[in-house]
Structure 1
């Protein structure tokens, strides 16, 4: 029986320690061109629109959205435009559910 080992590394992502474009690409198993596409379709955001990709920095929310976009691509074969729409709709549903919950209108669905 073969033994399989997995080595994992973790990094803290915060406003004080954002990810560079290459680090975000590596974290999601993609290349930097794919991250550029994420910015173009609005899945992740950069604070300075005119900056070169080498100067872009990403926070934990961007990492989460990039991971979700990658999963949607892999599991469902959707393009990034569709992934952007799906992620926006998911965010809106969560926001509306939270608002209903805060007003006591949620049935726990």
Structure 2
């Protein structure tokens, strides 16, 4: 007996952003959780003054939301701590990139 797997995907780009419900679904969460992500600054919305039902998110928001979900699940951190961790990870990547650009990084 053969097993068949079907995978679907959604393209996320500036021209095709995700809506609030779509981002929540992609993360296996509810919309209230995504609203919390926005409130603590983990993800940004394209039009902050819009009602949550009208929010749109680009691919970087999806990745940060998935990373926050993983931090919650794997390490039991709250969203405030997840925001700090994600910001620090971003800063480390930025600094490493600068070091590589200047040829200063060795085995880091």
| Normalised-by-shorter TM-score class | over 0.9
Is it true that 1:13 corresponds to 2:12 in the alignment? yes
In 2, the alpha carbon distance for the partners of 1:4 and 1:65 equals 33
Q: 1:34 is matched with which residue?
A: 33
Gaps spanning 5+ residues in structure 1: where?
none
Gaps spanning 5+ residues in structure 2: where?
none
For the aligned residues, what is the CA RMSD?
Answer: 1.5
Give the count of matched residue pairs. Answer: 108
TM-score by length of 2: 0.94
Secondary structure of 2:53's aligned partner: helix
TM-score by length of 1: 0.93
In 2, the alpha carbon distance for the partners of 1:7 and 1:48 equals 35
Counting only pairs closer than 5 Å after superposition, residues 1-109 of structure 1 correspond to structure 2 as: 6-109=5-108
- 1:47: how far off? 2.1
